[in-house]
């Protein structure tokens, strides 16, 4: 391969002098017959900007022009783990980087459709051969992330020729690269009942019309909806189906600018061509991903009937700062929501997952994080099971107003996540989960009467008059702050929770 263009630049200075050009990307999403698709989730994969289509299938992504002042004139304090001044160079297809710290460095390569073809996690300084992930001619993007800063390098592979250019800046959240409109991006559209669409957008300042195809996994005669799936729907296989599993049972993953330890528990006799249910186990304050995955067996769900054969379980660890202070799920910002989005995509690309049956479960702080995800990941999560939850002490994004299956439990003597606070979380869900009206908008179900039934020392309430595809179950028991109250030698919360997520 011939020698390519060579360039060296100081990261901090280039980032400070960059300009993010304004653009307005507008569009309409329809099905193959031309009918509008509402509540479709639209995202620019490289920039990270996202939105949803309205009832007419229309969406708009808009970004104002931002110009940063020279680095030496900016009076800012970069957070711990941010990019330190350093250099990047490319020669003969090899990217070399250096920095004045030993922070983790994540190098990823994406093709023009947003598919990741290579990822390496390194420390300090080093080099990566960009050609490792390139198997075909075309345009690629190499993304170098250190802490909350990102450097994006666009390069082209064309036979024996290799050329590269660089663009870099912070976005409004400080953790995504911004490219000039002419550099384009990849738009991903996800909608229930349709195949996921990825389309290259060469110029972001434009208007597009996108048509979605009915999901190939939908069985003939199966009812489809503008949002959500039919009960008992056919599995929707992820991109990772057909690939051999290369993931370890314990590894590190960086998302949202934060490195997380991951524990993965695969099904027995894993079949790479079979889409599996996926369950996230979120740990509580003072707990850990390791404990959730091993000692606690994902709050007992892993030991339920059929779980070991038919479910992929994964436990990510929350944030612990350099002083050892635990602050799981980073209250006050959206970094863990960005992490969840990026990590779920990573799993979908590497494992055979039924993307219509992804769940999050947790206790206490893990329940609060799962509950927060239920605010804005209704398009990716089928449901959540939360033991001792509330809508406080954690980052809560704006509610997208979409329904999601939800089950919660609380001890009537719990003085941490009290019954009152738990009911508040439940009522927020009920507001979204009523049966659709004539216009297809989900109605407010907070005034609906629940069906009550008793089970020993606990009482459960099923809100049967909500949309049956988005059930709500609320259980109280005589006890304190716990996810595993026992009756007759059994942990009824685990059994009930497992029944809840396996009904779909």
On whether both 208 and 255 belong to a single domain, the answer is no
pLDDT at 168: 38
Is 239 a domain residue? no
**Placement of tokens 């110009």 in the chain:** 67
Range of the domain at 100: 1-219
Question: Is the pTM higher than 0.75?
Answer: no
Is 236 a domain residue? no
Q: Are 97 and 88 in contact (CB under 8 A)?
A: yes
On whether both 371 and 271 belong to a single domain, the answer is yes
On whether both 205 and 258 belong to a single domain, the answer is no
Residue 209: give its domain's CATH number: 2.60.40.3080
pLDDT at 395: 86
On whether both 146 and 42 belong to a single domain, the answer is yes
pLDDT at 383: 98
Is 122 a domain residue? yes
At CB < 8 A and 24+ separation, what contacts does 487-493 make? Answer: 487/455, 487/456, 487/457, 487/458, 488/456, 491/300, 492/455, 492/456, 492/458, 493/387, 493/409
Residue finishing a domain among 200, 219, 238: 219
Is 234 a domain residue? no
Q: Name the residue among 481, 108, 504 with its Cα closest to residue 493.
A: 481
On whether both 201 and 256 belong to a single domain, the answer is no
Is 242 a domain residue? no
Strand partners, 52: 41
297 phi-psi bin (left φ>0, alpha ψ -120 to 50, beta other): left
On whether both 173 and 314 belong to a single domain, the answer is no
On whether both 372 and 427 belong to a single domain, the answer is yes
Is 59 a domain residue? yes
On whether both 207 and 313 belong to a single domain, the answer is no
What's the rounded Cα separation, in Å, for the pair 266 and 404? Answer: 25
pLDDT at 135: 61
On whether both 36 and 80 belong to a single domain, the answer is yes
Residue 260: give its domain's CATH number: 3.40.50.1820
Is 184 a domain residue? yes
Give how far the C-alpha of residue 304 lies from the chain's centroid of Cα atoms, to the nearest Å: 26
On whether both 381 and 478 belong to a single domain, the answer is yes
pLDDT per residue, tens digit, the chain (504 aa), is 333 333 333 333 333 333 345 788 999 999 888 989 888 889 887 777 888 898 899 999 987 654 333 323 223 333 333 334 456 666 666 777 766 666 667 777 777 666 667 767 666 677 777 666 566 667 777 777 765 566 666 777 665 455 554 443 333 333 333 334 345 788 989 887 788 888 888 888 889 999 998 876 667 777 878 789 999 999 999 999 999 999 999 999 988 878 899 999 999 999 999 999 999 999 999 899 999 999 999 999 999 999 999 999 999 999 776 666 676 787 667 889 989 999 999 999 999 999 999 999 999 999 999 999 999 999 999 999 999 998 877 888 888 889 999 999 999 999 999 999 999 999 999 999 998 887 778 999 998 777 777 667 899 999 978 999 999 999 999 999 999 998 888 899 999 999 999 999
What phi and psi, each to the nearest 5 degrees, are found at residue 302?
Answer: -65, -25
Per the structure, the count of domains in the chain is 2
On whether both 163 and 257 belong to a single domain, the answer is no
Is 224 a domain residue? no
pLDDT at 90: 62
Q: Residue 92 corresponds to which tokens in the numbers above? A: 């003969």
Question: CA 297, 302, 307: angle at the middle one, nearest 5?
Answer: 170
From the CB of residue 152, how many other CB atoms can be counted at a distance below 10 Å?
A: 22
The DSSP line for 339-395 is HHHHHHHHHHHHS-EEEEEEEEEEETHHHHHHHHHHHH-TTT-SEEEEES--S-SS-
On whether both 429 and 482 belong to a single domain, the answer is yes
């Amino acid at each position: 391969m011939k020698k390519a263009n060579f360039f060296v630049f100081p990261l901090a200075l280039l980032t400070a002098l960059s300009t993010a050009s304004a653009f307005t990307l507008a569009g309409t999403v329809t099905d193959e017959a031309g009918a509008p698709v509402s509540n479709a989730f639209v995202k620019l994969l490289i920039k990270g900007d996202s939105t949803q289509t309205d009832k007419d299938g229309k969406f708009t992504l808009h970004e104002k022009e931002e110009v940063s002042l020279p680095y030496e004139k900016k009076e800012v304090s970069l957070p711990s783990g941010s990019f330190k001044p350093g250099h990047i160079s490319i020669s003969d297809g090899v990217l070399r980087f250096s920095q004045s710290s030993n922070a983790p460095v994540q190098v990823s390569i994406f093709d023009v459709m947003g598919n990741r073809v290579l990822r390496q996690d390194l420390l300090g300084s080093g080099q990566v051969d960009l050609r490792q992930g390139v198997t075909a001619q075309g345009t690629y993007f190499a993304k170098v992330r250190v802490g909350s800063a990102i450097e994006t390098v666009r390069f082209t592979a064309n036979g024996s020729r290799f050329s590269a250019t660089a663009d870099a800046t912070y976005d409004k959240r400080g953790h995504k690269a911004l490219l000039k409109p002419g550099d384009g991006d990849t738009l991903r559209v996800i909608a229930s009942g349709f195949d996921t669409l990825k389309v290259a957008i060469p110029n972001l300042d434009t208007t597009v019309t996108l048509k979605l195809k009915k999901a190939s996994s939908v069985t003939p005669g199966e009812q489809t909806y503008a949002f959500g799936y039919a009960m008992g729907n056919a599995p929707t296989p992820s991109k990772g189906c057909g690939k051999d599993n290369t993931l370890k049972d314990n590894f590190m993953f960086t998302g949202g600018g934060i490195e997380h330890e991951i524990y993965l528990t695969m099904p027995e006799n894993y079949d790479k061509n079979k889409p599996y249910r996926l369950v996230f186990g979120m740990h509580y304050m003072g707990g850990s991903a390791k404990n959730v995955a091993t000692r606690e067996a994902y709050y007992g769900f892993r030991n339920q009937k059929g779980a070991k054969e038919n479910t992929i379980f994964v436990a990510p660890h929350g944030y612990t700062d350099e002083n050892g202070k635990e602050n799981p799920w980073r209250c006050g910002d959206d970094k863990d929501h960005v992490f969840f989005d990026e990590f779920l995509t990573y799993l979908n690309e590497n494992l055979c997952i039924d993307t219509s049956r992804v769940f999050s479960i947790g206790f206490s702080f893990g329940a609060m994080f799962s509950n927060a995800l239920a605010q804005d990941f209704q398009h990716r999560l089928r449901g959540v099971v939360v033991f001792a939850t509330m809508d406080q002490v954690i980052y809560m994004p704006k509610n997208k107003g979409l329904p999601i299956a939800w089950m919660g439990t609380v001890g009537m003597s719990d003085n941490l996540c009290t019954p009152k606070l738990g009911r508040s979380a439940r009522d927020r869900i009920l507001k979204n989960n009523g049966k659709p009206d004539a216009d297809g908008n989900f109605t407010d179900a907070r005034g609906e009467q629940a069906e009550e039934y008793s089970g020993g020392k606990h009482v459960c309430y099923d809100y049967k008059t909500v949309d049956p595809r988005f059930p709500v179950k609320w259980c109280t028991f005589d006890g304190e702050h716990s996810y595993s109250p026992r009756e007759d030698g059994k942990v009824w919360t685990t059994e009930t929770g497992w029944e809840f997520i396996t009904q779909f």
